[in-house]
Amino acid sequence: MGRRRSGWVTVWLMGFVFSFAWSPCIGPMLASAIVVAASASTRAAGYGYILAYALGFILMFLLLGLFTEEMLNFFQKKKDIVKYTRMIGGIIILCFGAYMLYGSFTRLSAETASVQPSASASAEASAEATADTRTDVEKYGFTLPDSDGNMVSLSDFSGKTVIVNFFGTWCTYCQKEMPSLQNVNDTRDDVKILLIAAPNSGQEGSIAEIKKYMADKGYTMQILYDTDLSITKEYGISGYPTTYIVKPDGNFLGYVPGYLSEENLNKALEAAVK
């Protein structure tokens, strides 16, 4: 730009070009922040997550903008140090890239529905747990109200394979796997589908709104309402959808964090009865 005098329009255009060019870099991070916020237990917590992301992102730029001359002078005087900070920054970026790649493979693994061991198959698989003859349903069972106000227990379905699906009506992947669950619900008498919703939590609406959503979509699966999030927390749900699979003998086959395709759902049902 040489020595031409810059005006408001020029400065705005420069800012626009920088922000446009950086969008591919910012996008994945912003998407992650939005996913975390969407899974927050309350609306206020979700806004807090987004605020924390925004402050963390812009704070350094605000400081540089307010103290440009001081910062340039500092960097000029500390040239020998700055060259090492660039190297360290590059290493950190490479580490983050490796971490994101690992996360992508983890997500891919979830989407191919490799059923992961349930909580009872890990920490409780000690000598003490071996002596405990109770089934997983007896240890981790729950009782929640359904859409009609009736109290329903996980133990009510002894002898059946039970799909316990934690979901949100706003969740894209939950919406994607609903038809598969409905198909199983309609065609398999030996399988029980239990949907667990958390009304008035995060982006989720009221019980009436959830019922309307299900009716509008034509879904007839039974929904239980975890109004105080006690079961959601007990089962360690950190995102939607999450599916637990209970075998007919009352023990957990495992759980799937994330989207469960129809093909992999059927594979899991086959494994549950073996």
Report yes or no: 173 and 179 within 8 Å, Cβ to Cβ: no
Domain ranges in the chain with CATH number 3.40.30.10? 119-272
pLDDT in tens, 82-127: 778 888 988 998 988 887 776 655 554 544 444 455 544 455 545 4
CB atoms within 10 A of CB 116: 13
Record the pTM.
0.57
Provide the residue type at 11 as one letter. V
pLDDT in tens, 243-253: 999 999 999 98
Question: Among 3.10.450.50, 3.20.20.10, 3.40.30.10, 3.30.300.30, what is the CATH number of 119-272?
Answer: 3.40.30.10
pLDDT in tens, 25-64: 777 777 777 777 876 778 888 899 889 988 888 888 888 8
Q: Where are the alpha helices (DSSP H) in 112-261?
A: 127-131, 136-140, 172-187, 207-217, 230-234
Q: Determine the Cα–Cα distance for residues 207 and 185; give it in Å rounded to an integer.
A: 21
Q: What is the mean pLDDT of residues 215-234?
A: 93
Handedness of CA 221, 206, 155, 150 (dihedral sign): negative
Q: Which residues does residue 146 pair with via DSSP β-bridges, in sequence order?
A: 224
